[in-house]
Amino acid sequence: MVQSTPYWWETAPPTAPPQVAVRSKCDVVIVGAGYTGLSAGLTLARAGRDVQIFDRQRPGEGASTRNGGIASGSIRPSYRQMVRRFGKARAAAIQFEAKAAREDLAAFIAHEAVDCEFQLTGRFTGAAIASEYEGLAREADLLRKELKVEAYAVPRSEQHGVLGTEFYHGGQLRNDIGGLHPAKLHHGLLRLAQDAGALVHGETAVLGFVQKAGGYQVETARGRVQADHVIAGTNGYTDGFDPWLRRRLVPVRSRIIATAPLSNNLMAELMPRGVMCAETRKLHYYYRPSPDRTRILFGGRDGTIAGEPAWPTDNLRRALSDIFPVLDGVDITHSWYGHVAMNRDMIPRIFSRQGMRYAVGYCGSGVVWARWAGQKAAWQILGDERGGSALDFRPPAAVPLFNGKPWFLPLVFAGLTLQDRLNRPRRRQQRPSAR
């Protein structure tokens, strides 16, 4: 029987704090109690602000306890694409900020003693077709020269030292990315925010808000609140409480399967260095060993927008055994999904509009970005100069013909699947004979 709840919940299930009365006044209302909302709440409460954080589900039940736990702080567009779209200065500043955000997460976990099994394992990105290997090697050079990140190309002949597969044509290894237990990170943040004095209301939706008398009147499912500031940290779960925001963030289902425990020998053969993994396919997969290195957690786009059919799980099983043929038919214990938030230019954002703060749009890389952006939004409210950010520029544009239901995603999924299929013969032709 495959569980439809996250593997992470076996050891750190989301819980709703005991319900207490909603206070009718406070300094800051935060919508969403994932990494973004809790990080903002922690920063504000420690600065002495009176904060209430609302989540319509149990805190963390959004993406923050469902994700792969790969602490990448990735930016989807390439550096070249960013230069074209935003200019060289912003493109470089975003790259530097990603590095600072990754380092800050590691320092935060250590300093606050958050028990979330963080390990700076490194990440391997596999070239799905041979011509992509050169691009990954060039990027590794740039990472070393420009960002002083330890990164290098791994030719196919040496790939088995990193990943036990013939599937890729070599790849890139960078040492500044690691893995953690995402639900334990969330638990740690929740405890710290509550200890600092933030009041967290689970299972209490924010229904809407209006600007009033230099602040906001916020309607919640359990009463009205007058607040000086509001922060939206709702990312891929943004609902009708802010229709303007909802038109700008496309919720995309991402799914992960967990294998049953594998033998030590097999894990050592398939994942000898225990690194996090990514790849260059259009519909790319991300995967990793569990923190105790007994299983493989394998994720990718789900492809559906409603219901819970079996085929996305079957797709992931197939993709897993394409990479590791020895895992064909392996038992799967968990298969679950959650929502990531994509925006039109695929850059995470911190911005304000009519006084309201937003920290959203991490495009599937929020383990690093969400905590960082929540903290930045809080610093902005506090008038702290550390609130400055290269991610703080014009809000993402509205997505045409989209009002919250991503009807076009199955078409996008089919298109990307087709592109990868068309590339498949090239992959086969280019693949040298097996070991």
Name beta bridge partners: 119. Answer: 179
Let me know the angle formed at the C-alpha of 20 by 16 and 24, rounded to the nearest 5 degrees: 125
Which residue from 41, 188, 215, 233 is in contact with ligand FAD, where contact means CB under 6 A? 233
Task: Lay out the site mask for ligand FAD across 20-39 (x = CB under 6 A, - = otherwise).
Answer: -----------xxxxxxx--
For residue 313, state whether it binds ligand FAD (rule: CB under 6 A).
Answer: no
CB atoms within 10 A of CB 406: 18
DSSP 101: H
Instruction: Report the alpha-carbon distance of residue 246 to residue 264 in Å, rounded.
Output: 46
Instruction: Between 153 and 303, name the residue whose CB sits nearer to ligand FAD.
Output: 303
Q: How far is CA 101 from CA 53, 96, 156, 164, 354, in A?
A: 23, 9, 31, 31, 27
Instruction: Report the alpha-carbon distance of residue 234 to residue 32 in Å, rounded.
Output: 5
Which residue from 241, 285, 358, 372 is in contact with ligand FAD, where contact means CB under 6 A? 241
Which residue from 164, 170, 202, 366 is in contact with ligand FAD, where contact means CB under 6 A? 366
Binding piece for ligand FAD, criterion CB under 6 A, among 19-27, 69-77, 110-118, 398-406: 69-77
Contacts of 420 (CB under 8 A, 6+ apart): 128, 281, 282, 283
Instruction: Report the alpha-carbon distance of residue 64 to residue 62 in Å, rounded.
Output: 6
Instruction: Between 132 and 302, name the residue whose CB sits nearer to ligand FAD.
Output: 302
Instruction: Report the alpha-carbon distance of residue 35 to residue 341 in Å, rounded.
Output: 14
List the structure tokens of 161. Answer: 């030292």
Alpha-carbon Rg for the chain in angstroms: 21
In whole angstroms, how close is the CB of 170 to ligand FAD at the nearest point? 23
Binding piece for ligand FAD, criterion CB under 6 A, among 43-51, 77-85, 234-242, 419-427: 234-242
Q: Which of residues 291-310 bind ligand FAD (CB under 6 A)?
A: 299
In whole angstroms, how close is the CB of 104 to ligand FAD at the nearest point? 14
Which residue from 236, 300, 387, 406 is in contact with ligand FAD, where contact means CB under 6 A? 236
In whole angstroms, how close is the CB of 100 to ligand FAD at the nearest point? 16
For residue 68, state whether it binds ligand FAD (rule: CB under 6 A).
Answer: yes
Which residue from 49, 56, 102, 248 is in contact with ligand FAD, where contact means CB under 6 A? 56
Q: Which of residues 259-298 bind ligand FAD (CB under 6 A)?
A: 286
With left for phi above 0 and alpha for psi between -120 and 50, is residue 343 left, alpha or beta? Answer: beta
For residue 235, state whether it binds ligand FAD (rule: CB under 6 A).
Answer: yes
In whole angstroms, how close is the CB of 234 to ligand FAD at the nearest point? 4
Q: Which residue has the tokens 């050079």?
A: 141
Instruction: Report the alpha-carbon distance of residue 173 to residue 408 in Å, rounded.
Output: 35
DSSP secondary structure string, 258-324?
EEPP--HHHHHHH-TT--EEEE-STT--EEEE-TTSSSEEEEEE---SSS--SHHHHHHHHHHHHH-
Binding piece for ligand FAD, criterion CB under 6 A, among 123-131, 153-161, 266-274, 337-345: 337-345
How many chain residues interact with ligand FAD (CB under 6 A)? 46
In whole angstroms, how close is the CB of 302 to ligand FAD at the nearest point? 8
For residue 256, state whether it binds ligand FAD (rule: CB under 6 A).
Answer: yes
- Chain residues binding ligand FAD by CB under 6 A are 31-37, 54-57, 61-64, 66-70, 72, 205-206, 233-239, 241, 254, 256, 286, 299, 337-340, 362, 364-368, 370
